[in-house]
Amino acid sequence: MSNEIRVSLTNKSLVTIDDLSNGEIEALFSLADVMSDSMNEQIDVCRGKIMASLFFEPSTRTRLSFETAMHRLGGNVISAVDIGATSLAKGEGIADMARVVGSYADIIVIRHPWEGAAKVVADYAGVPVINAGDGGHQHPTQTLCDLYTIKKERQTIKGLKIALWGDLKYGRTIHSLIFALAKFGANILFCPSSGLEVPEHVIKKLTTEYGGELERYETLDQTAKGGLFPLDAIYITPSQPHQLAMMPNISIQAELKSGIDALYVTRPQRERFTTTEQGQELEKSYPVVDKKLLKSKAFRKTLVMHPLPRVDELAYEMDADPRSMYFKQAARGVPLRMALIALLLGAKEVSIPREIDSFIQKKEYAVYKRDSGIRCSNPRCVSIQETETKYIKPEFKIVNRKPLTLRCVYCEHGFEPKYIASSDWHEGRLDSKKYHSADSHWTRKIKPENLIIFDSEDKAQAMGFKPSSYVRAQSLEK
């Protein structure tokens, strides 16, 4: 048996970082190395191919690096950069747009403010689709640039300590990076600005699907709380034995003093702040990364990273510091995106060592998909936008039964619904057509294909279900 495997990504789409295995990411990096060393020799790789560049939010680096990548591969680019100048402004649904653009182009790159919009395009376009950022959800190609930079500078990702700094709530680059670092076995230090902590649905996905241990602020000792930087939580990878999670009060101080491998800085995503958050002026308390902060021995060899653009959170004095990597990250985006486009279009394949693979087994979940009763609770989700509800049906992964927890397949927000019922009425009698509390034993007994979920009693009753005795008792207690 050969020690290498051939990797082909032909006709795949990249919507979230989970769409690529560790082996496929390593293959992508290998091809990016080749293209970086012979940039001018790639002009015939995608000759005759057309990329549609659809950027419905502002972009400099991502859009230009994708378009540069396609031109360097010998392909052509068609573009739309303003929703107001497209038929979307007339009320056209994303699916119709995707079908049309997919008939014009061989590959689509899209950025859109609605979370999950890239998945809709991938579902309907009929050609490979690359997510260049969908609201606050994910930005997988930025994460690939980030991982590529860490790998180039440190030769490995496994076992490194990576600190995530700033807006961890709305930073889509952060959300993609969290999952990717866990996949590759890094330890993650969460250092959010006040009020901009990692969303709970991201944390739940991290701990349920990637294993490991998460130590919250409340359990950390005073050294960790008031030490090098504002530490909120630490995620310890399950890829190797580690004592930090089991003995936090003993090990954290030594762990941090041994050095931080990379500090990933993000700007406040003001464009996604709610009205309340804007009123709180969260960015006024935003911590700044400068040479004074990084004077500790723990930062002596730390890579300072940033997806850019920056505002005031990263001092300009850091630009000349050899630890700063952000302009390298941006430059490496071109050969990496060249490699990605070539692989998705089937213009290139690459071999990698057989042993490269993720230590995490991807979990498979039952899917809940019904036309009524419940919808995603995330106001930014594509599935609840008026123009899209005509054809998008609510769809969720059932990620837990105790408590019942759903995760939207579009935006990945998770939530715990209130009421459930069975489509077979349990005993098949009309008087058994009851709805139950989601925390009752029925939640675990009803088969997934028979499960009906409601977010309110009104919706349950509108579908002809009556409250069970347990639900009535709960109502009386209130």
User: Do 54 and 12 lie in a common domain?
Assistant: yes
Query: Over 80: is that where the pLDDT of 223 sits?
Result: no
Domain holding 429: CATH number?
2.30.30.20
pLDDT confidence band for 243 (50 / 70 / 90): very low
Tell me the percentage of the chain whose pLDDT exceeds 90: 46
Query: Over 60: is that where the pLDDT of 220 sits?
Result: no
Q: What are the pLDDT digits (tens) for 396-425?
A: 999 998 889 999 999 999 989 999 998 886
Query: What is the per-residue pLDDT for 283?
Result: 55
Copy the structure tokens of residue 261: 């491998």
Beta strand ranges found along 310-426 (DSSP E) = 350-353, 366-368, 396-401, 404-408, 414-415, 419-422
Query: What is the per-residue pLDDT for 336?
Result: 97
Across the range 124-136, mean pLDDT stands at: 96
Query: Over 70: is that where the pLDDT of 87 sits?
Result: no
Q: Which residues contact residue 105 at a Cβ distance below 8 angstroms, ignoring those fewer than 6 apart?
A: 50, 51, 52, 78, 127
Query: What is the per-residue pLDDT for 147?
Result: 96
User: Do 218 and 118 lie in a common domain?
Assistant: no
Query: Over 80: is that where the pLDDT of 254 sits?
Result: no
User: Do 262 and 186 lie in a common domain?
Assistant: yes
Looking at the chain, how many residues does it have?
A: 478
Query: What is the per-residue pLDDT for 208?
Result: 84
| 406 close to 417: Cβ distance less than 8 angstroms | yes
User: Do 299 and 183 lie in a common domain?
Assistant: yes
Ranges of H-type helices in 210-261: 222-225, 248-257
Query: What is the per-residue pLDDT for 443?
Result: 86
* Of 62, 95, 100, residue with least CA distance to 81: 62
pLDDT confidence band for 475 (50 / 70 / 90): low
| 3 state SS of 268 | coil
Residue 359 lies in a domain: no
| 3 state SS of 162 | strand
Q: Are strands 434-437 and 419-422 parallel, antiparallel or unpaired?
A: antiparallel
Residue 358 lies in a domain: no
pLDDT confidence band for 198 (50 / 70 / 90): confident
Task: Among 126-140, 263-277, 363-377, 442-456, name the most confident range.
Answer: 126-140
Residue 447 lies in a domain: yes
Averaged confidence pLDDT in the chain = 84
Distance CA 202, CA 137 (A): 10
Tell me the percentage of the chain whose pLDDT exceeds 70: 82
- Residues 222-247 as b or e (16 or more Cβ within 10 Å = b): eebeebbbebbbbbbbbbeebebbee
Task: Among 18-32, 267-281, 285-299, name the most confident range.
Answer: 18-32
Higher model confidence: residue 215 or residue 113?
Answer: 113
For 250, half-sphere exposure in the C-beta direction (CA atoms, 13 angstrom radius) is 6
Query: What is the per-residue pLDDT for 194?
Result: 78
Query: Over 80: is that where the pLDDT of 105 sits?
Result: yes
Query: What does 387-399 look like in DSSP terms, one character per residue?
Result: TTTTTPPP-EEEE
For 319, other C-beta atoms within 10 Å of its C-beta total: 11
Higher model confidence: residue 362 or residue 160?
Answer: 160
53-62, 280-289, 347-356: least confidently modelled range? 280-289
Residue/partner pairs of 30-38 with CB below 8 Å, 24 or more apart: 30/350, 30/352, 31/339, 31/342, 31/343, 31/348, 31/350, 32/148, 32/332, 32/335, 32/336, 32/338, 32/339, 33/335, 34/339, 35/335, 35/338, 35/339, 35/342, 36/332, 36/335
Query: Over 80: is that where the pLDDT of 471 sits?
Result: no
Residue 360 lies in a domain: no
Task: Among 186-190, 194-198, 348-352, name the most confident range.
Answer: 186-190
Q: What are the pLDDT digits (tens) for 14-25?
A: 999 999 999 899
Distance from the Cα of residue 272 to its chain's centroid: 16
For 83, half-sphere exposure in the C-beta direction (CA atoms, 13 angstrom radius) is 15
Distance CA 324, CA 344 (A): 31
What's the structural domain count of the chain? 3
* Of 423, 415, 429, residue with least CA distance to 460: 423
Q: Which residues contact residue 419 at a Cβ distance below 8 angstroms, ignoring those fewer than 6 apart?
A: 435, 436, 437, 438, 453, 454, 455, 456, 457, 460, 471
Between helices 140-154 and 326-344, what is the axis angle to 10°? 120
Higher model confidence: residue 195 or residue 367?
Answer: 367
Give the range of the structural domain holding residue 244, as residue numbers without chain letter: 141-328
| 455 close to 418: Cβ distance less than 8 angstroms | yes
Query: What is the per-residue pLDDT for 73?
Result: 98
User: Do 387 and 307 lie in a common domain?
Assistant: no
Query: What is the per-residue pLDDT for 155?
Result: 92
Query: What is the per-residue pLDDT for 219?
Result: 55
User: Do 407 and 312 lie in a common domain?
Assistant: no
Residue 423 lies in a domain: yes
Across the range 434-452, mean pLDDT stands at: 87
**Conformational region of residue 219, where left means phi above 0, alpha means psi within -120 to 50, and beta covers everything else:** alpha
Domain holding 231: CATH number?
3.40.50.1370
240-254, 309-323, 407-421: least confidently modelled range? 240-254
User: Do 280 and 382 lie in a common domain?
Assistant: no
Q: What are the pLDDT digits (tens) for 42-78?
A: 999 999 999 999 999 888 889 999 999 999 999 999 9
Query: What is the per-residue pLDDT for 248?
Result: 43
Higher model confidence: residue 112 or residue 424?
Answer: 112
Residue 361 lies in a domain: no
Q: Which residues contact residue 26 at a Cβ distance below 8 angstroms, ignoring those fewer than 6 apart?
A: 352, 356
Across the range 458-472, mean pLDDT stands at: 83
Across the range 320-335, mean pLDDT stands at: 93
| 260 close to 304: Cβ distance less than 8 angstroms | no
User: Do 292 and 436 lie in a common domain?
Assistant: no
For 123, list phi and psi in degrees, rounded to 5: -70, -30
- Whether the pTM exceeds 0.85: the reply is yes
Query: What is the per-residue pLDDT for 247?
Result: 39
User: Do 318 and 349 lie in a common domain?
Assistant: no
pLDDT confidence band for 356 (50 / 70 / 90): low
Q: What are the pLDDT digits (tens) for 369-403?
A: 987 778 999 999 999 999 999 999 889 999 998 88
User: Do 231 and 278 lie in a common domain?
Assistant: yes
Residue 206 lies in a domain: yes
User: Do 231 and 301 lie in a common domain?
Assistant: yes
Query: What is the per-residue pLDDT for 298?
Result: 81
Distance CA 187, CA 213 (A): 10
User: Do 228 and 246 lie in a common domain?
Assistant: yes
Across the range 114-142, mean pLDDT stands at: 96
